[in-house]
């Protein structure tokens, strides 16, 4: 059987629980299952399990309440650690409660022995797998992609496109019967006011005129296309440079301080060299520190995969606080920051180095203020306030539709919300409260989820049982070239154990689909920043590490594979594989169903 850890109550500084009344077993035995459930409902307790489960839950609950009352007399705080421990204790499976009682008190007598014996040989009774509708998930994805920018296609954080998508998700939750909310948070964000431009001029060597000037009639000018060859980077400033305003300085991979010094007031060119010497945060901070006019970074991402013989540019963000620190406390507002394709980078440097070429560029970005990002949520109140959640981010990079990152996750969240609303017909109440949310501001620094967690921190500390994050939980349909793997991971052993067990059921009962995919599992229960800890790279991060008071939340996450188009113009519905969403959707959805006791 699958058990939760029980050590949390061993050695607790409380008196032993009182022994159950010798007549209590026979008292409850005389009731029907319907009568037992009526009594459980009146006490706000779960209704799942066999008759023996229901009886045991009714027997144990008054004893635990007495222990909590004793703890309240010893600790006048509204919610002491002991109370929280007992609340978590009540949520554990009954076999674990009984076994824990045996460990702590030395025994619950013959009744406890009989109940433990009845459970030890049984496996966990998981509910039926949820019916995840992949076709409907694709319809949600198509709708979300349709909210993208008319020219640039993305739903950038803080934009009208992001707001429209959030409103649609809120309205969908409301139509499904959830108590829907739409919260906004003012966060540091940039706004792109017009498309950037980048030009290369090879001088015509017209006598007696400035090279590449207006009168250099033999000059050759190449325009580089926005999104396919040039992409703005996070928090770029506003700058216009004509052909003779600044020199282009080759910074190599950006590791030499002397090169940066030469680039002051000029245009720096960085070749990432197979992944890059350093992050965008480092590069933009260096540009601010040395007072560059502009910084061009040559892509080395997914070379020859999106386009033959080329590495297309992608969008990347920066760490706002680090860049501000490098710039004396404010965001540099006059440094143009762009990534260009490898083909463009090679062509530009060859022309500059060998033919006296010159570069002109323009960027028009407001990067020093705050903008609102949005968080729509749908809540279905349970018998208890204990909370289980699932989320993904509805914003995308500005330069592409974001069909995989993370329309796939948001569509999965909407499909799960739809499936659960169908299961919770009428006024049905699950044992735990269920909430579905999507986040804005993820691509530029997890702003939506971190702000929402901060705003609801106390509630989450008191009630959060599990957060499920769905970010690119997608596998490209080209299995032969791109692989077929999904990775499910958690920071809590009991959760990943349950997930593995449900995945085994899924692989058995849905083998036609499951057999196509390799499902990997991982436990990451180390400290933040450690290799064995949960990465802080998507919206699960705030739920795990930012609850406050030294408490870590519990999360399960799914990452897919094969998205070569990540953060590029080509992340569209062409490669969308809705079937792959059903793998994590069914497994995690069924785990949520198990926790909610539906």
Position 287 scores a pLDDT of 97
| Lowest mean pLDDT across 85-99, 300-314, 345-359, 544-558 | 85-99
Give the per-residue pLDDT at 335.
Answer: 98
**Residue range(s) of every CATH 3.50.30.30 domain in the chain:** 191-366
Q: What does the alpha-carbon distance between residue 104 and residue 17 come to, in Å, rounded to a whole number?
A: 9
* Per-residue pLDDT at 93 exceeds 60: no
d(CA 208, CA 529): 60
Residue 76 has pLDDT above 50, yes or no: no
Mean predicted lDDT score pLDDT of the chain = 86
pLDDT grade for 275, boundaries at 50, 70 and 90: low
As a whole number of angstroms, the distance between CA 285 and CA 269 comes to: 15
| Sheet with 239-241: strands ordered across | 220-223, 191-202, 358-366, 239-241
Contact status, residue 476 vs residue 403, Cβ threshold 8 Å = no
CA distance 432 to 178: 14
Give 34's pLDDT tier (boundaries 50, 70, 90): low
Q: Which long-range contacts (CB under 8 A, 24 or more apart) does 23-30 make?
A: 24/59, 25/55, 25/59, 25/111, 28/54, 28/55, 28/58, 28/59, 29/55
In sequence order, which ranges of 292-367 are alpha helices (DSSP H)? Answer: 320-326, 342-355
In this prediction, what percent of the chain has a pLDDT beyond 90? 74
Is the pLDDT at 48 greater than 80? The verdict is: no
Name the residue with tokens 């539709």. 401
Which one has a higher pLDDT value, 420 or 30? 420
* Residues written for the chain: 598
pLDDT in tens, 451-470: 999 999 999 999 999 999 99
Residues 527-582 pLDDT 10s: 999 999 999 999 999 999 999 998 899 999 999 999 999 999 999 999 999 999 99
Burial 175-186 (b: 16+ CB within 10 A, else e): ebbbebebbebe
> Among 106-110, 193-197, 587-591, whose mean pLDDT is lowest?
106-110
Residue 70's pLDDT band, with cuts at 50, 70 and 90, is: very low
Give me 382's structure tokens.
Answer: 């349970």
Query: Which pLDDT belongs to residue 378?
Result: 98
Answer yes or no: are the C-beta atoms of 521 and 587 closer than 8 Å: no
Lowest mean pLDDT segment, chosen from 50-59, 106-115, 268-277: 106-115
User: What is the side-by-side strand order in the sheet with 518-523?
Assistant: 179-188, 370-380, 433-439, 387-393, 464-470, 555-559, 485-490, 518-523
Please determine, for residue 138, whether its predicted confidence score (pLDDT) is greater than 60.
yes
Q: What is the pLDDT of residue 362?
A: 98
SS (H, E, C) 248-292: EEECCCCCCHHHHHHCCCCEEEEECCCCCCCCHHHHHHHHHHCCC
Of residues 102 and 133, the one with the higher pLDDT is 133
Q: In the β-sheet with 336-340, what is the strand arrangement from edge to edge?
A: 230-232, 336-340, 294-298, 267-271, 248-250
Both tokens assigned to 343: 């083909």
CA distance 556 to 523: 10
The tokens of 1 are what? 């059987």
Mapped onto helix, strand or coil, the DSSP state of residue 48 is coil
Tokens of 323: 């860049």
Residue span(s) of the chain under CATH 3.40.630.10 come to 134-187+370-596
- Low-confidence winner among 72-81, 310-319, 575-584 (lowest mean pLDDT): 72-81
Parallel/antiparallel/unpaired status of strands 191-202 and 230-232: unpaired
CA distances from 67 to 18, 60, 104, 110, 502 (A): 9, 11, 13, 22, 35
Class for domain 191-366, per CATH?
alpha beta
Specify the 3-state DSSP secondary structure of 97. helix
398 exposure class (CB count in 10 Å sphere: 0-12, 13-18, 19+): buried
Answer for the pair 550, 516: CB distance below 8 angstroms, yes or no: no
Check whether 39 has a pLDDT greater than 80: no
pLDDT band at residue 58 under the 50/70/90 scheme: confident
The residue-averaged pLDDT of 226-233 equals 98
Mapped onto helix, strand or coil, the DSSP state of residue 127 is coil
**Model confidence at 355: pLDDT above 60:** yes
Q: Which two tokens stand for residue 507?
A: 């692989």
Share of the chain above pLDDT 70, in %: 81
Is 103's pLDDT higher than 60? no
What is the model's pLDDT at position 27?
Answer: 65
Fold of the 134-187+370-596 domain: Aminopeptidase (3.40.630)
C-alpha of 460 from chain center: 17
pLDDT, tens digit, for every residue of 171-186?
A: 999 999 999 999 999 9
For residue 484, what are the contacts with CB-CB under 8 A and spacing of at least 6? 475, 516, 517, 518, 561, 562
The per-residue pLDDT for range 472-531, each reduced to its tens digit, is 999 999 999 999 999 999 999 999 999 999 999 999 999 999 999 999 999 999 999 999
Distance from CA of residue 483 to its chain's centroid? 22
């Amino acid at each position: 059987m699958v058990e939760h850890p029980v050590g949390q109550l061993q050695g607790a500084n409380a008196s032993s629980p009182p022994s159950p009344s010798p007549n209590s077993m026979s008292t409850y035995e005389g009731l029907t299952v319907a009568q037992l459930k009526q009594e459980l409902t009146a006490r706000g307790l779960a209704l799942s399990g066999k008759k023996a489960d229901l009886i045991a839950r009714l027997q144990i609950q008054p004893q635990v309440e007495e222990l909590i009352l004793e703890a309240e007399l010893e600790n006048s705080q509204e919610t002491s650690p002991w109370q929280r421990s007992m609340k978590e204790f009540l949520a554990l499976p009954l076999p674990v409660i009984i076994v824990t009682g045996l460990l702590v008190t030395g025994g619950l007598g013959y009744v406890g022995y009989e109940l433990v014996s009845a459970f030890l040989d049984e496996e966990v009774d998981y509910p039926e797998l949820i019916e995840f509708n992949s076709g409907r998930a694709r319809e949600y994805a198509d709708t979300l992609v349709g909210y993208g920018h008319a020219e640039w296609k993305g739903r950038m954080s803080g934009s009208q496109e992001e707001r429209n998508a959030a409103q649609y998700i809120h309205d969908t939750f409301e139509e499904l019967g959830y108590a829907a909310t739409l919260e906004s948070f003012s966060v540091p964000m940039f706004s792109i006011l017009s498309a950037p431009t980048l030009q290369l001029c090879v001088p015509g060597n017209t006598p007696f005129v400035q090279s590449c000037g207006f009168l250099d009639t033999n000059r050759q000018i190449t325009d580089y296309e926005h999104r396919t060859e040039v992409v703005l980077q996070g928090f770029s400033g506003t700058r216009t440079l004509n052909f003779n305003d600044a020199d282009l300085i080759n910074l190599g991979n950006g590791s030499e301080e002397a090169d940066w010094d030469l680039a002051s007031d000029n245009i720096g060119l960085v070749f990432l060299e197979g992944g890059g010497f350093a992050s965008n945060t480092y590069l933009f901070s260096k540009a601010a520190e040395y007072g560059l006019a502009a910084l061009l970074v040559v892509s080395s991402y997914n070379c020859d995969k999106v386009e033959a013989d080329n590495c297309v540019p992608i969008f990347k963000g920066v760490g706002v606080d680090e860049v501000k620190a490098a710039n004396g406390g404010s965001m540099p507002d006059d440094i143009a920051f762009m990534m260009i394709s490898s083909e463009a980078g090679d062509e530009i440097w060859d022309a500059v180095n060998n033919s006296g070429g010159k570069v002109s560029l323009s960027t028009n970005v407001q990067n020093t203020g705050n903008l609102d990002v949005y968080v729509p949520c749908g809540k279905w109140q349970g018998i208890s306030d204990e909370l289980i959640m699932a989320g993904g981010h509805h914003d995308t990079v500005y330069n592409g539709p974001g069909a995989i990152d993370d329309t796939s996750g948001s569509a999965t969240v909407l499909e799960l919300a739809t499936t659960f609303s169908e299961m919770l017909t009428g006024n049905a109440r699950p044992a735990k409260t269920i909430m579905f949310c999507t986040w804005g501001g993820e691509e530029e620094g997890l702003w939506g989820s971190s702000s929402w967690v901060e705003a609801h921190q106390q509630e989450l500390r008191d009630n959060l049982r599990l957060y499920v994050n769905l970010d690119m939980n997608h596998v490209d349909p080209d299995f032969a070239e791109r692989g077929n793997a999904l990775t499910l991971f958690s920071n809590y052993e009991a959760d990943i154990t349950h997930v593995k067990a449900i995945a085994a059921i899924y692989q058995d009962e849905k083998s036609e689909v499951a057999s196509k995919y390799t499902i990997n599992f991982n436990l990451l229960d180390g400290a933040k920043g450690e290799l064995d800890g949960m990465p802080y790279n998507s919206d699960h991060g705030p739920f795990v590490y930012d609850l406050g008071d030294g408490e870590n939340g519990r999360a399960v996450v799914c990452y897919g594979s094969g998205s070569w188009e990540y953060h590029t113009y080509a992340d569209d519905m062409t490669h969308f594989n809705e079937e792959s969403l059903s793998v994590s959707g069914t497994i995690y959805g069924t785990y949520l169903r198990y926790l909610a006791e539906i």
